[in-house]
Chains A and B, each alone.
Chain A
C-alpha cells in the first residue's frame, strides 16, 4: 500500500533556528513530490515541487531534497520566523501525476 509518513507530528522552535521536516514514502516509483503549507482554516499553498528526476529544489529560505532510493524527502527551513508557523504537508504523486498521497503533516510553531 502506498503510504506517506511525516515525522514529527508537531514541532516548536525558537525564532532564528534552522529546522528540518521529514517525509517518507513506501513506493519509490513516484511521479513527483510536493511540499505544501496550510494555515489554520485555509487551503494548501504549494511551496516546492520536486520532479522524479530531480534531487532538490530551492525557494528563498526553503530547500527540499528527494532521495527515491531510500523513500525520503526533507524540507529545510533556514532562519525560521514566527510567520513560518503553519502545518507543512508532504504529498507524493503516482500514475502520471494524478494519484496523490498526502502525509498527515507536521505542525510547526516558531516562537518569537
Chain B
C-alpha cells in the first residue's frame, strides 16, 4: 500500500546542475501536483496535472518543468539549479475532477540542497 512514492529522498546539487525528481502514485488518481515547502511559508504549488496529458502552472513555476509521463508518474525537472531552489519538494495526487472533490495524498518529500 505505497500511496505516493518520491525519489530521491535527499539530494545535494551544485549551482547550475540539472536533475529530475520522480513521483509515482498507485491509487489510480487522475490529478497530480508538485509543491515546495520553505520554512515559515507553507507549501506553494509549482505545477499540477489535472489529468494524464495535461499540465498547468501553479504559483511558483519559474525554473521548473514537469512531465506527466503516464497516469501514474509525474516528474519535476530543474534545468539549471539555483540556491533559491533549496527546499523540500512534495508530490501529491488526488481523484479530482469537476464532479469529484477528494483530498490530496502526499509523498514523504525530497529534501534538495543547492550549493
A→B interface (CB under 8 Å): 4, 31-32, 34, 36, 41-46, 49, 51, 89, 91, 96-105
Q: Can you identify 23 A-B contacts, CB atoms within 8 angstroms?
A: A36-B106, A41-B108, A42-B109, A43-B4, A43-B108, A43-B109, A44-B106, A45-B106, A46-B104, A89-B42, A96-B98, A97-B98, A97-B101, A98-B31, A98-B33, A100-B45, A100-B104, A101-B59, A103-B42, A104-B40, A104-B41, A104-B42, A105-B42
Given A43-B106, A44-B90, A46-B104, the answer on whether A98 and B96 have CB atoms closer than 8 Å is yes
Do A98 and B50 touch across chains, with their CB atoms under 8 A apart?
yes
Residues of A within 8 A of B33 (CB): 98, 100
- With the chains together, A85 CA to B9 CA distance in Å? 24
Interface size for B (C-beta < 8 A) is 28
Q: Once A and B bind, how many residue pairs between them come within 8 Å at the CB atom?
A: 60
Q: A44-B90, A51-B101 are in contact. Are A99 and B106 (CB under 8 A)?
A: no
Main secondary structure, interface of A, reads strand
Type the 1/0 row for B56-67, where 1 means its CB is closer than 8 Å to any CB of A.
Answer: 101100000000
Query: Which 10 A-B residue pairings sit nearest by Cβ, starting from the closest?
Result: A43-B106, A46-B103, A102-B42, A102-B43, A44-B106, A104-B42, A43-B108, A49-B103, A98-B48, A97-B96
Interface check B77, CB cutoff 8 A:
no
Q: Which residues of B contact A34 (CB under 8 A)?
A: 103-104
User: Chain B contacts of A41 at CB under 8 A?
Assistant: 108-109
Contacts of B107 on A, CB cut-off 8 Å?
A: 43
Check: B72 CB closer than 8 A to any chain A CB: no
Interface centre among A41, A44, A51 (most CB of B within 10 A): A44
User: Which chain A residues border B96 with CB–CB below 8 Å?
Assistant: 97-98
A43-B105 Cα distance, complex, nearest whole Å: 9
Would you call B71 an interface residue if the criterion is a C-beta within 8 Å of the partner chain's C-beta atoms? no
Given A43-B90, A98-B48, A4 and B103 touching (CB < 8 A)?
no
Contact B43 A89 (CB under 8 A): yes
> Please, which residue of chain B has its CB at the minimum distance from the CB of A36?
B106
Q: Distance (Å) between the CB of B31 and the closest chain A CB? A: 7
